[in-house]
Amino acid sequence: MGQRLTDKVVFITGAARGQGRAHAVRMASEGADIIAVDIAGPLPPSVPYDSATPADLAETVKLVEATGRGILAEAADTRDLEALRAVVERGVDRFGRLDAIVANAGITVPEPWNETTPESFRDVMDINVTGTWNTVMAGAQKIVDGGRGGSIVLISSAAGIKMQPFMVHYTASKHAVTGMARAFAAELGKHSIRVNSLHPGAVNTPMGTGDMMAALTRANETNPALMNMVTPFLPDYIAEPEDIADAACWLVSDESRLVTAARIAVDLGATVF
């Protein structure tokens, strides 16, 4: 790896595993110090896959430290703005600055429209939308105060460009994240802060654990014709977390210094039609 992010500090949510861990390790390998948070505990009952654990977050710390860079990692819920602000404050005290934010934390719940409960709809919107807004609000002023410009990456989804069958709440939340990125980009541009949304398709992460595949199968059976709506073009079919981290690292680096308010899809072509 190179050193494209030398001495930058990046705040990453959902960093205990999966894409969040890949972002942290990749950016550290490029020279960044990391401020990391994850709920590292039980997710809402509607979520069918396994929750991250403190051990998962500790493993991220170990992997980042193995690159030679520093990391401050704490358990925090992105729905709690004050908790996020406190972690960012401690991170800036330790590392001296903040240059970038990767709002990665999110959940998904597969269920047909008529089986979606008020509770699951609220949980998805609270974490994916309000949690993303909280993440930006917890750190953006620190980037502004640094006077060096910076980058904010909001992890949306292929569902934030097209849609995801059997996930009305998830699709709505990720479209909201896409719009949020463009709105923040407009206002933060005068500070040389770029804001973009990143749109993964299917990714090989712990979201596939627990009862997730069974829940997807049950939902698909209610309307099988919709199953091919997000079929990739490329034969890989599913990305690895590191593939998404490559794109996120580019968006944080100065190589994308003129890219803002963009929707960057890493979805194997699934959202073209």
As annotated, the active-site residues are: 170
Structure tokens at 158: 């292929």
Structure letter (DSSP) for residue 267: S
In the 8-state DSSP scheme, what is residue 126? I
CB proximity list for 141: less than 8 A, separation 6 or greater: none
Q: Counting beta carbons within 10 angstroms of the beta carbon of residue 225, is it exposed (0 to 12), middle (13 to 18) or buried (19 or more)?
A: exposed
Enter the tokens of residue 162.
């097209």
100: its two tokens: 């970038």
270: number of Cβ within 10 Å: 23
* Intra-chain end-to-end CA distance of the chain, in Å: 35
Nearest CA to 35 out of 115, 97, 109, 123 is that of 97
Q: How far apart are CA 262 and CA 128, in angstroms?
A: 19
Q: DSSP characters for 72-96?
A: EEEE--TT-HHHHHHHHHHHHHHHS
- For residue 113, how far is the Cα from the chain centroid? 25
The Cα–Cα gap between 269 and 7 comes to: 34
37 three-class SS: strand
